[in-house]
Structure 1
Amino acid sequence: MPTVTIGDRTITVEPGTRLVLAIEQAGIAIGHRCGGYARCTTCRVAFAAGEPDEMTAAEYAKLSERGLLGQYRLSCQIVCDRDMVIAEVPMTLASQGWTDTGPAPEPTVTPDPATHPRATLAQG
């Protein structure tokens, strides 16, 4: 079973758990203002280790649009299929002063869970 580590917190999750939900399970109120549909980037994270090589087309498009590609990943578009160490969760309930983190993400990646190598996505 994969482990997810954020700071001094490490949790074990079921394989296939969305990373955004795993971070919440670890007790961190990560943002997901769009409900986990790769539209807002509030669930972005920086990896220290275990970053997947592939990404969804929706994640690639949103990170490219916002100038964040190569710096962050969208936790709503990643499933836990390996051990992961998160270096940064920049947008949380406390850090942003929100009254809530956003609509609850569904258990599976949406809109399209298919992942692709970044080079393929860059070719359009």
Structure 2
Amino acid sequence: MAKITVPDHGTFEVEEGTKLALALEDNGVHVLHRCGGNAKCTTCRVEVVDGEFGELTEIEEEAFKKKGVEEKLRLSCQVRVNGNCEVKPAMTVESSGLDAGPRPAE
């Protein structure tokens, strides 16, 4: 099990290999995923405060180029939890007033 810490939401344990967006959502962090986990909208991006998710995936690189996104960010719909981490979601249902969007596939 890995521990994920989210400021203002606490720390929770998830099974390693879980998609980060699903781990957040299943633990009460209402991160947006407006495109349903297809790396098109970047609304699920998180700042990685601590921990490692490996190199950016090709799909993340393309999405970030199109949106002009900064370093230290990852798409939570594209990465899997592989150890303890701390992340800050950029957009949530509460902060944006938007519907989360379709749930990403496992």
TM-score, normalization by structure 2: 0.92
1:102 is aligned to 2:88: no
Unmatched 5+ residue regions in structure 1?
108-124
Which of 1 and 2 has higher RCO (CA within 8 Å, sep 6+)?
2
Deviations 1:19-77 (A, max 9, x none): 00111122111100000010000001001100323122111110122111414211111
Measured in 1, the distance between the counterparts of 2:58 and 2:77 equals 13
Counterpart residue number, 1:111: none
Measured in 1, the distance between the counterparts of 2:21 and 2:64 equals 16
Measured in 2, the distance between the counterparts of 1:75 and 1:20 equals 5
Counterpart residue number, 1:119: none
Amino acid at match of 2:80: V
1:62 is aligned to 2:63: yes
Measured in 1, the distance between the counterparts of 2:20 and 2:44 equals 9
TM-score, normalization by structure 1: 0.79
Counterpart residue number, 2:45: 44
Measured in 2, the distance between the counterparts of 1:41 and 1:77 equals 10
1:15-94 correspondence runs (5 A): 15-86=16-87, 88-94=88-94
RMSD between aligned residues: 1.2
Q: Is this contact kept in 2: 1:63–1:73, CA < 8 A?
A: no
Measured in 2, the distance between the counterparts of 1:19 and 1:106 equals 11
Number of paired residues? 105
Q: Is this contact kept in 1: 2:32–2:101, CA < 8 A?
A: yes
Unmatched 5+ residue regions in structure 2?
none
